[in-house]
Amino acid sequence: MAVIVGARYRTKTSSNYASVAAAEMAAESAVNLAIATALAATPEQAVNFPLRCRLPGGERATITVEEETGKIDLNTASSAALTRFFTALTGDQSRGIRIASEIVAFRSPKAQATPATKPAESRFTTVMQLDQIDGMSPRLFRTALRHVTVRSGRPEPDMEAASPATLRLLNVQPKQTLGKRGLPAGGSITIRADISASDGTRFIREALVSLEGGNGRPFVIREWRRGDIDPSSARQERTQGAAHACLRLRDATSS
């Protein structure tokens, strides 16, 4: 009996691993599809995001684009902007002030051992370094990731480019005209592909993409990250109804 139970467990585990791997591949395909669709589209055929469609394997994809200029830049945000953000995120002003101070200290030039050398410039090279900040719990780190960047260069986020989640967090009322947005002509964006398979498997892949990548390249993928499930996304998906085929949307922009 124990042998049968063990065999069934191993079979189920292998099946789960296979489902996750398939969903992961679908998510990466959705990111690449979003890039190809956007780059191929003319102004008249521009695809707006969020984009909801069905992949060839039957997976449902929700693809969103987040502009980095609408986020808090860990390297260039003012101390006041950092304090407001982390106070809103933690619900504790004193903790928000402490974390903001730690971030400013982290990115400040570090003195060298000898006066003959220049101070070494210390900057965040990726948002994943945020977990090195004192007072940054794992939960706070994961929650903050979607709202921060190292590629905007702004002291304050551009509220017109900020995501609805960031606007809610900062208690900023979105403009009435704010709706679906296409890709910007340049700069950096995060493309997020949320995949739901028919067997219930979920996988979210995020890619940090710089448009006009230089050296003749139309874009550069600078980072791949695994995203966290947004509880509100499941509610939104249930209200969307049947999704169009992703490749049909791609063909429409290419024709």
Within-domain flag for 2: no
Is residue 151 situated within a structural domain?
Answer: yes
222 is a domain residue: yes
Residues of the domain holding 151? 72-156
CATH code for the domain of 110: 1.10.150
Give the pLDDT mean for 214-231: 86
Domain boundary among 156, 173, 201: 156
Q: What does the pLDDT average to over 25-35?
A: 93
186 in any annotated domain: yes
225, β-bridge pairs: 206
pLDDT value of residue 228: 87
Query: Is residue 63 domain-shared with residue 129, that is, in the same domain?
Result: no
Over residues 49-75, mean pLDDT = 94
For the residues of 133-190, what is the DSSP string, one character each? STT--HHHHHHHHTTEESS---SS--TTTS-HHHHHHTT-PPPTT---B---SSEEEE
CB burial of 71-93 (b: ≥16 within 10 Å; e: otherwise) equals bbbbbbbeeebbbbbbbbbbeee
Q: Give the pLDDT band (50/70/90) at residue 3.
A: very low
Residue 247 within a domain: yes
Which residues share a beta bridge with 188? Answer: 210
Same domain, 117 and 137: yes
Q: Give me the percent of the chain exceeding a pLDDT of 90.
A: 58
Q: What is the per-residue pLDDT for 95?
A: 98
Query: pLDDT-derived band of residue 211, with 50, 70 and 90 as boundaries?
Result: confident
For residue 226, count other CB atoms closer than 10 A to its CB: 10
Does residue 173 fall inside a structural domain? no
The 10s digit of each residue's pLDDT in 160-202 is 999 999 999 999 987 755 555 666 777 899 999 999 999 999 9
Q: What is the mean pLDDT of residues 70-85?
A: 98
239 is a domain residue: yes
1 found inside a domain? no
